[in-house]
Amino acid sequence: MLVFAKHKLVFLSVPKTGTTAWQAALAPYASMIISDPPELKHAPIFRYNRFFRPALEKFIGDDLHVIAVMRAPIDWLGSWYRYRQRPFLAGKPTSTQGMSFDAFVAAYLKGQQPAFANVGSQSKFLEPQRNGTAATHVFRYEDQAALSAYLEARLETSISTDRLNTSARDQLILSDDIEAALRRKYAPDFQLYDSIDANGRYTPVAEPSPVN
């Protein structure tokens, strides 16, 4: 998570959406950089609302803009699947080595997800709170130009990024029945992603995500 006090901007770090690269690029302009522990670096809306928002509003102001990036849901799961195939996870409960993407998503759909498939949900991460706290803008990971244009205008500077913390690319094969089940159970994620426009405007999901 990044905070830009002068510009009244908070950039939330949704996992697997390229925020490591943005953090490196924007660090010189940030007033506060939350990079560790992961639970705070990747603080979702509910955690931001509970722990960060009160202090930031007290010292910066209550008209903060809160932005985030969202990835196409299947591609987002693919990033988790690839990341957990890395050698340093071999033999651990979170490893996906020797597993097909289809099997990974099937495990993700279970009521009690095994450790390797327990990766949360983007719609749950961005779920608005009862007091009205929500992301002001959400940008598609696949539309980096829109995010860059917004940040350059907001921070009044030119920005360039390098890709960091990327996983090896391979083909993601998902069977029709597993994809259909994913789209049913995690409909809020697909609805939220589909609602995002080029200016970062979006429609919050009406129903909570099935993941706690």
Specify the 3-state DSSP secondary structure of 10: strand
Q: Strand locations in 36-174, DSSP E?
A: 65-70, 137-140
Domain ranges of the chain: 2-195
77-117 per-position pLDDT tens digit:
999 999 999 999 999 999 999 999 999 999 999 999 999 99
148-185 per-position pLDDT tens digit:
999 999 999 998 876 544 555 567 899 999 999 999 99
The pTM score is: 0.91
User: Please, are residues 60 and 5 in contact by the beta-carbon 8 Å criterion?
Assistant: yes
Residue with tokens 């102001």: 61
Token pair in block for residue 75: 């591609």
Specify the 3-state DSSP secondary structure of 191: helix
User: Is 2-195 a CATH 3.40.50.300 domain?
Assistant: yes
User: How many angstroms separate the CA atoms of 122 and 90, rounded?
Assistant: 26
